[in-house]
Structure 1
Amino acid sequence: MTRSSRNAWRRAVAVVAVAAGIGVGIGPLGATAEAGTASAKGAARPVVTRAALDPALVKGRGADLGFVEQEAENAVTDGEVIGPDRTAYTLPAEASGRRAVTLRPGQYVEFTLPSAANAITVRYSIPDAPGGGGITAPLDVTVDGRARRTMTLTSQYAWLYNQYPFSNDPQAGLLHDDWWITECGCVPNATTPAPAISKPFRPNHFYDEQRLLLGRTYKAGDRVRLTVPTRAGAVPTTVDLLDSQLVAPPRVSLLAANVLAFGADPTGRRDSAGALDKAIAFARRAHLKVYVPPGTYQVNRHIIVDDVTIEGAGSWYTVFKGKEVALDSPAPDNSVHTGVGFYGKDASAGGSRDVHLSGFAIEGDVRERIDTDQVNGVGGAMSDSTIDGLYIHHTKVGLWFDGPMSNLRITNNVITDQIADGLNFHTGVTDSVVRNNLVRNSGDDGLAMWSERTGNARNTFDRNTVQTPVLANGIAIYGGTDNTVSGNLIADPVREGSALQVGSRFGAEPFTGHLWITGNTTVRAGTYELNWNIGLGAIWFYALERNIDADIRVTGDHFLDSTYNAIMLVADWPVKDTYSIRNVHFKDIRVDGTGTSVVSARVAGSATFENVDARNVGAVGVNNCGSFNFPATGSEFSLTDLGGNDGGGTTGPWLGAWQLPNTITCDDRPPVVAPPGPAPW
């Protein structure tokens, strides 16, 4: 979510780590090292993963976008392997798989290509500048010891600090000294003497990524080495992963309105927004599509699209890149900046229709979170439209839609390094599909349906991969009717959220009809919520503003290596006797590893369980606190056993007859027992 209505919920979060100076500027190296740095270590043969898992464990789930993922900790390196650690505000916690490799000048990490490739993406972190704002640093790339290229890494779009909505200044004081602060256990402006808060306060959002075309195709077995040089400007660099792929040649479209004919500048020296407007107007009159050849096109404002097809040569070749521009006065929507983005007309003006965007990259310039700003990669309202094959980087939200609107298809896109959400269906989006997209390093929910004021209905999030959302959830559904979340892979949420959340909050309309959550896999999910001082579930049902009582079916999902519990149902304390969660049905579920329980119930209501198999459960299978009134009749939350609920952990079967229907088994904060890693079932 990206609106100021979230402020009341953004209070204290985990206190860990702290930013010590490393080389130039600020940057915690993170947690424990698994091995020394004296000699190279790791696997010479390529270890291919998906969300740092064996691909066999997630077959058929998540996005397939033609690249191969390799984790740095599995490669050959003479650097320092950091992690594993899931503690917020540390470099390992924000890394894929919760581990990475830190290289100091002169050190390297080397990946063996598992298949032919001509392009790589490097996910990395380098320190901030001492006063904030980021630095740049070199990283050398060689293949088989030859063809050296230098990437110029940046931390200008990373490193946020402080309380929501965050600061770029590592020395800033508290943004809200009237909020509860976990670190001091106090409300600072009500405390005498005022507490000393360490600075930088709550550093986060450490990582960025950069893409590189290698100039030729290399074969399987060739070795890509990333080296931090010893020359000027080099700094300690943490490498998380490398994606490699074979990118197709640029697409050429001859029967189209070519933007070059209208004055667009592919070198990026001149602003091309006006030329794009002219090409779009001509294409609409001539019933042609707009073609954008390879190049980098400077665009510093929204391009308004309606009844038009805009096709690039491919997201590796056609790039729209712009600066964030301060407005002389706030816009009617309260934006104080504008920037590069493709926007449908506002829904109040009828919205846009028949818009088709494909084959290009959007490179934004958003470095701070201002919730009123419309500085998203794609926005507005678009019905009967498609968005396919885009790469969206460094915008506020990758794609944000304000309905009413319908029949939008969003497919095969990569959305990374956002300040806020990856994608949000906000108000009145219906009959639309988000399929086969990667969202990585979002600053808020990876994918969200937020039914504020007007409900979202009959939408589907299918076969997407969401990795390392720094704040909030991987996939969040806030109200709505007859929506589906299916076949997704969600990994490594960092703080204040879960892999999957079903929430009655943020002014959302009620859940009605049904909600299907089917065939998804979560891994290393569930974060620590210090306001409540408890761990969240990999899937989290939250009744804050209404009852949740639609027909909700969680079927065929796999919850792997959950940090705390796999399934959590909760109401906030002030409304615990007002709202309930009912009519939730779990069937054909696998739970492989929990730090605490399979089910944690902290609300009134009920749920059914059928063929829920569990193993490596850290604590009692069911932690049933109900509404914390502890009546003699048992918990206010009831569990119904429909059969086939097998397995468990150290305390025996996870769902025993003695727990049914509503035995109080409340351990408010059970100790965490880290499970073994996921394995074939």
Structure 2
Amino acid sequence: MSYRRSPLLAGAVALSTAALGLLLASTSHTAAAAPAPASLTPFAAGAANASGASIPGMTEYEAEGPQAATNGSRIGPDYTQADLATEASGRQAVQLTGQGQYVRFTLTTPANALDLHYAVPQGASGTLSVYVNGSKLSSELQLTSQYSYITTGQVPGAKVHKFYDDARMLLPNTVAAGSTVAFQVDAGDNARPYTIDVADFYQVSAPATQPSGSVSVVSQGADPTGAGDSTNAFRNAINTAANAGVPVWIPQGTYLISSSLQVDKATIVGAGAWYTQIRTNKFIDNGGVVPGPVNLSGFAILGNTVGRHDDSSANAINGSLGTGSTVDGLWIQDTNVGFWLRFGNTNLTVKNSVVLSTDADGLNFNGNGSNSTVTNNFLRNTGDDALALWSYPAADTGITLSNNTIVQPTLANGVAVYGGSNNTVRDNVIADTNALGSGIAISNQAFLQPFTPLSGTVTVSGNTLIRTGAINPNWGHAMGAMRFDAYDSAFQNVTVNVSGNSVNSSPYEAFEIVAGGGQGYTVSGLNFTNNTVNWTGTTVFQAETPGSASVSGLTASNVGVGGAYNYGYPNNQAGTFGFNLGSGNSGWSTTPVLTSFPNPVGLPPTGSGGGPTTPPPTTPPPTTPPAGTNLALHKAVSDTGHTQTYVASNAVDGDANSYWESTDNAFPQSLTVDLGSAQQVGRLVLKLPPATAWGARTQTLSVLGSTDGSSYTTLAGSAGYRFDPASGNAATITLSSHPSVRYLRLTFTGNTGWPAGQLSEFEAYSS
């Protein structure tokens, strides 16, 4: 079967030609609005608003945050699709390129375990050294790109995404509050550059002991070293325990499961998610409704999926867990989906669990779910919706998604409710969504039939949204922090109560009301009560289809663009959507009525800075990156103008098929890369997409360099460079003087193939 897709091109077809022609501003603009609250990290914002997850013993630190010091280079903030900074928590991260560079965290709480959220270049694997209070640990973190850089050609508008992954380790001893833990590039650490996003530190309890009377998988032949296949031993233990009516026990260790388990009814308990590890991509696969309960607790499922599997062949928990089940304290990482809940799940609770770096959804109720709760879970870096209710082939009803923290879904929504009745999205924290998604989507997008549209009462309350919303590359305009979408059918027989939510630092509009399938279906039954908006790049409301909403107690500050976009298909008339305004609204307005998509005022604020950067006395000085390192890869980049979605970051994303194109018929045009620090540059490689459809062309350009970003000198005078698909569609420029520069600028003055500068990759090398 097929997973849900993100909104398709039909939405763009529905829009007026004039509206589509108005392009959103470059993300290099400077924010004009006042900053949002200083605490914009997901866990801090959640604690302040009594929302989100509280994972026992966990404290999270941003690499660019106040508890971190670094001599590396900060990247971001950025909001463009397929960019390292865009996919980072807070839209910023720190990059370590040379030996001796580090990020050092000062702990505010004790910890005996850590998880590092990182990225390394595509194809790279290697180690990263760990120091505690200046002393190097004997064990290093093992990092790899094997499970990153996902390509989903079947999803229109998708680019390569999911750049980050996670590596965790138990520390030799508990590290006290006030101590330092540093991640440093030493001589043998060659997976450079390392991009460090966040470090999660944990105070992990001692391993649990075996429940009385339980059946140990080891007693049935399981191998806790992970060398042998334990599949049959697990099956035997589950059957033996079921016959005796006792739990299954998985002792501390690592277990290899080579094929999935069918479990009708069981209680399966591990020693704790940091102690009991199961190596598999698919632990449970129940192909139909089971009686249950199937209770799961205290273990990790660590997969190794490479690419997305839309055939459900690599979902950690797949199918039905039956009635009355509880999932408590699992850790799921690097599988296709964490939980794909199908066929029928009633009175199910999923709580206190961590789902990281999946290739598709974190958790999805795929129809027939009822009266269930998903609460106090942490989900980060999912390759599709983090949490979703999809009412196919029957309705999901009475499900509550509450107090979860969701960060960095790389290709869809934080929370999505596709149809169903009487479901609740409450008190969650959602941050840093990317292309093809909003923070929260309430939608009648069917994907497949038979689909059950929205009905009854949908409750969206008490959620905290941070930097959510994105440019949809198919629609050619922005998706809101919250989206209400009559994609395949109108909102009928449904009331959607949106109350007490906080929308912070949305790069575009706070609330979008749309019929994304291009049919102009009506959205009605919306009630907005006592919501707050602090900082939007554009408007508070963007209404694109007929219907109406009641709005009261909506207070906004630092709104980027006054008024509301209200220009709805199919009539292409201003004021198509009706706002019934009650009392208590302030800081925003439905007038003027905007009939073209407004440009954002700039990037939303990202929070506080990175703390001290003085290296410890024992740290050796940074060295020049290896000669084969592309110094410009994933670095900050800006332009003097671009066309549609062909933005500057496409030229440094490592994908030769994506490209930057300057404003048409407006030479000269420039593209500038910030290498992060002064680097000796000896060679530039400029590329265009390899497809033969491009045709050969000559571009005239010059190369300039700067150490401070303001005063530039010419490194290579204006000349014509030939790009020919028959010979790789690339040009090399040698800089024999090997200048030391931080900023590299290409200035285009001509192109025989198109009236604009074009570049798919801007690569810089030391030699």
Q: TM-score, normalised by structure 1?
A: 0.81
Q: Which residue of 1 aligns with 2:381?
A: 441
Q: Is the 8 A contact 2:11 2:516 kept in 1?
A: no
Which residue is 2:509 aligned to?
565
Aligned residues: 576
- Greater mean alpha carbon deviation, residues 531-540 or residues 514-523: 531-540
Provide the secondary structure at the position in 1 that maps to 2:481: strand
1:118-137 matched pairs, under 5 angstroms: 118-129=112-123, 135-137=124-126
Structure-1 separation of matches of 2:517 and 2:220: 60
Amino acid at match of 2:523: I
Q: Which digits, 9 at most, give the CA deviation of each residue in 1:327-352, with x for residues without a partner? A: xxxxxxxxxxxx43123x333xx424
Distance 1:518 1:8 in 2: 24
1:28-47 aligned at under 5 Å gives the runs none
Structure 2 residue 316 is matched with structure 1 residue 316: no
Secondary structure in structure 2 of the residue aligned to 1:280: helix
* Alpha-carbon distance between aligned partners in 2 of 1:297 and 1:643, rounded to the nearest angstrom: 60
Q: Which amino acid aligns with 1:404?
A: G
Q: How do 1:103-118 and structure 2 match up within 5 A?
A: 103-104=96-97, 105-118=99-112
Query: How far apart are residue 72 of structure 1 and its match?
Result: 0.3
**Amino acid in structure 1 at the alignment position of 2:73:** E
**Structure 1 pair 433–10 and aligned structure 2 pair: CA distance change class (3 A):** farther
Aligned to 1:169: none
SS for the counterpart of 2:170 is strand
Return 482-491 or 663-672, whichever deviates more. Answer: 663-672
Note the residue ranges of structure 1 that are not aligned, 5 or more in a row: 14-30, 35-46, 130-134, 166-178, 182-200, 323-338, 648-653
The higher relative CO (CA closer than 8 Å, separation ≥ 6) is in 2
Write the mapping of 1:399-548 to structure 2, written as runs, cut at 5 A: 399-505=339-445, 506-507=447-448, 508-548=451-491
Match of 2:42 in 1: 51
Are the equivalent residues in 2 in contact too, given 1:157–1:366 (CA < 8 A)? yes
* Distance in structure 2 (CA, Å) of the matches to 1:388 and 1:436: 10
Distance 1:380 1:10, change over 3 A: farther
Change (3 A) 1:460 1:162: closer
Match of 1:77 among 55, 70, 83: 70
**Structure 1 range deviating more: 379-388 or 663-672:** 663-672
Aligned equivalent of 2:207: 250
Cα gap change, 1:12 to 1:120, in 2 (>3 Å): farther
SS in 1 for 2:406: strand
Where does residue 138 of structure 1 map in the other structure?
127
Q: Does 1:666 align with 2:595?
A: yes
Q: Give 1:205's match in structure 2, choosing from 127, 151, 162.
A: 162
**Residues 33-71 of structure 1, C-alpha deviation per residue, up to 9 Å, x if partnerless?**
x9xxxxxxxxxxxx9974275565443334444300100
Shift, 1:151, TM fit: 0.9
1:618 is matched with which residue?
560
Cα displacement (A) at 1:628: 5.5
Residue 7 of structure 1: how far off its partner (Å): 8.4
Q: Per the alignment, do residues 136 and 287 of structure 1 end up closer, same or farther by CA in structure 2, a change over 3 Å counting?
A: same
Q: Which amino acid aligns with 1:244?
A: F
Q: By how many angstroms is 1:5 displaced? A: 6.2
In the alignment, which residue of structure 1 is the partner of 2:228? 270
Determine the structure 1 residue equivalent to 2:81.
Answer: 88
Partners of 2:374 and 2:361 in 1: CA distance: 14
Asked if 2 retains the 8 angstrom alpha-carbon contact of 1:11 and 1:163, the reply is no
Please, which runs of 5 or more residues in structure 2 have no aligned partner?
13-26, 31-37, 609-767
Match in the other structure for 1:150? 140
Are the counterparts in 1 of residues 93 and 195 from structure 2 also a CA contact under 8 Å?
yes
Answer yes or no: is the 8 Å Cα contact 2:58–2:202 preserved in 1.
Answer: yes
* Preserved contact between residue 435 and residue 472 of structure 2 (Cα < 8 Å): yes
- Give distance in 2, aligned partners of 1:263 and 1:393: 26
**Matched residues in 2 for 1:159 and 1:12: separation?**
27
Distance change in 2, residues 1:279/1:367 (3 Å) = same
8 Å CA contact 2:128, 2:189 repeated in 1 = no
CA 1:225–1:274 in structure 2 vs 1: closer, same or farther (change >3 Å)? same
Q: Deviations over 1:421-468 (max 9, x none)?
A: 000000110000000001100000000000012000000000001100
What's the counterpart of residue 346 of structure 1?
287
Would you say the 8 A contact 2:150–2:308 is kept in 1? Answer: no
Report the CA distance between 1:136 and its aligned residue: 1.4
Question: CA 1:417–1:11 in 2, change beyond 3 Å: closer, same or farther?
Answer: farther
Cα pair 1:299 1:320 within 8 Å, conserved: yes
Secondary structure in 2 aligned to 1:73? Answer: coil
Q: 2:540 aligns with which of 589, 598, 602?
A: 598
Aligned partners of 1:48 and 1:55 also within 8 Å: no
CA distance in structure 2 between the aligned counterparts of 1:269 and 1:56, rounded to whole angstroms:
42
Q: CA, structure 1 residues 5+68, in 2 after alignment: closer, same or farther (shift >3 Å)?
A: closer
Question: Does 2:252 match 1:294?
Answer: yes
Quick one: structure 1 residues 162 and 261, their matched pair in 2 at CA, closer, same or farther if it must change by over 3 Å? closer
Contact 1:96–1:241 under 8 Å retained in 2: yes
Instruction: Return the letter of the residue paired with 1:279.
Output: A
Q: Is the 8 A contact 1:616 1:676 kept in 2?
A: no
Residue aligned with 1:86, SS:
coil
1:595–1:139 distance in 2 versus 1, CA, 3 Å: same
C-alpha spacing 1:65/1:671, structure 2 compared with 1 (3 Å): same
Q: CA deviation at 1:563?
A: 0.8
Relative to structure 1, the CA distance from residue 110 to residue 11 in structure 2 (aligned partners, 3 Å threshold; closer, same or farther) is farther
Matches of 1:77 and 1:523, distance apart in 2: 25
Deviation of 1:555 after TM superposition, in Å, equals 0.5
What's the Cα RMSD here? 2.4
Distance 1:48 1:672 in 2: 21
Distance in 2 (CA, whole Å) between partners of 1:242 and 1:127 is 19
Counterpart code for 2:92 = R
Secondary structure of 1:420's counterpart equals: coil
CA distance in 1, matches of 2:334, 2:10: 25
- Equivalent residues of 1:500, 1:539 under 8 A apart: yes
Q: CA deviation at 1:596?
A: 0.2
Give distance in 2, aligned partners of 1:65 and 1:492. 23
- d(CA) in 2 for partners of 1:408, 1:573: 33
- Superposition deviation, residue 203 in structure 1: 3.0
Q: Distance in 1 between matches of 2:580 and 2:463?
A: 23
Indicate the residue corresponding to 1:97 in structure 2: 90
Residue 161 of structure 1: which of 151, 154, 160 is its match? 151
Deviation at 1:354, TM superposition (A): 1.3
Residue 581 (structure 2) pairs with residue 641 (structure 1)? yes
The answer to whether the 8 A contact 1:48-1:70 is kept is no
| Secondary structure in 2 matching 1:269 | strand
Q: Describe the SS at the equivalent of 1:268.
A: strand
In structure 2, the partner of 1:176 is none
Whole-Å separation in 2 of the counterparts to 1:418 and 1:120: 19
Query: Contact 1:63/1:488 (CA < 8 Å) preserved in 2?
Result: no
Q: Secondary structure at the match of 1:585?
A: strand
Aligned to 2:495: 551
- How far the C-alpha of 1:581 sits from its partner, in A, is 0.1
SS of 1:574's partner is coil
How far 1:86 sits from its partner (Å)? Answer: 1.2
Among 553, 567, 589, which residue is 1:655 paired with?
Answer: 589
Give SS of 2:337's match: coil
* Counterpart pick for 1:279 among 237, 254, 259: 237
